[in-house]
């Protein structure tokens, strides 16, 4: 069934229709929240809160075609709340990663680049992370992101530029450190 039809029915109070919408969006929202918050439990809570808020406030949505953008707006708000509630843990308990068991592959692991991207990304606040994720992964235009976050296009553009610059600087800085140390050893 077309999403628009489901949204209109849900706007009219149809819980079954809304539950179908939730099942269609939950994976995507969870993926975005995980990238923004970098914590699966917080992402799970933010996703749940966003969907409940969507059900509760659906009457405020005037155009069913804008449901996706509106839902992303609720998700980013929920991520803000989760980020404020989060506390840094000094003792870390790590999860196990899946193993890459492809035979014959003899590439060196890119842990360093991924770690540097992670560390650069962690320097960003929730809004900047959301902008990068919505733009680079979800394919939103600057205008669409502006509507999601309630910001002018120019502000979105400058924040995106700043966010990518911060991540790029993290990569460059670590590369310079390694380069300098190798020169000392040689």
Interacting positions 19-78 with another protein (CB under 8 A): 19, 22-23, 26-27, 29-31, 34-35, 40, 44, 47-48, 51-52, 55-63, 66, 69-70
**DSSP summary character for residue 123:** T
CB of 181 to another protein, least distance (A): 5
Angle at 164 between CA 163 and CA 169, to 5 degrees: 100
76 or 133: CB nearest another protein: 133
Helix, strand or coil, per DSSP, at residue 13: coil
19 or 155: CB nearest another protein: 19
Structure tokens at 155: 């502000």
Quick one: which of 118, 125, 154, 173 contacts another protein (CB under 8 A)?
Answer: 118
Q: What are phi and psi of 46, to 5 degrees?
A: -65, -40
Q: What are phi and psi of 182, to 5 degrees?
A: -65, -35
Structure tokens at 139: 């394919």
CB of 2 to another protein, least distance (A): 17
Q: Does 88 bind another protein (CB under 8 A)?
A: no
5 or 176: CB nearest another protein: 176
Q: Does 169 bind another protein (CB under 8 A)?
A: no
Q: Does 182 bind another protein (CB under 8 A)?
A: yes
CB of 75 to another protein, least distance (A): 12
Q: Does 141 bind another protein (CB under 8 A)?
A: yes
Torsion angle, alpha carbons of 11, 131, 85, 87, to 10: 150
Residue 132 to residue 99: CA distance in whole angstroms: 28
């Amino acid at each position: 069934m077309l999403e628009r039809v489901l949204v209109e029915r849900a706007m009219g109070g149809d819980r079954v229709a809304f539950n179908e919408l939730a099942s269609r969006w939950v994976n995507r929202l969870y993926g975005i929240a995980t990238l923004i918050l970098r914590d699966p439990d917080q992402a799970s809570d933010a996703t749940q809160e966003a969907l409940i808020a969507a059900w509760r406030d659906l009457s405020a949505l005037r155009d069913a075609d804008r449901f996706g953008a509106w839902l992303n707006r609720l998700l980013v708000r929920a991520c803000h709340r989760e980020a404020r509630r989060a506390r840094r843990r000094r003792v870390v308990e790590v999860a196990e990663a899946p193993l890459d068991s492809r035979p014959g592959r003899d590439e060196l692991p890119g842990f360093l680049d991924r770690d540097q991207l992670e560390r650069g990304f962690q320097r960003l606040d929730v809004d900047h992370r959301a902008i990068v994720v919505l733009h680079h992964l979800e394919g939103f235009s600057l205008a669409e992101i502006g509507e999601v976050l309630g910001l002018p296009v120019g502000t979105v553009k400058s924040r995106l530029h700043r966010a990518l610059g911060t991540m790029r600087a993290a990569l460059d800085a670590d590369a310079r450190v390694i380069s300098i140390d190798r020169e000392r050893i040689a």
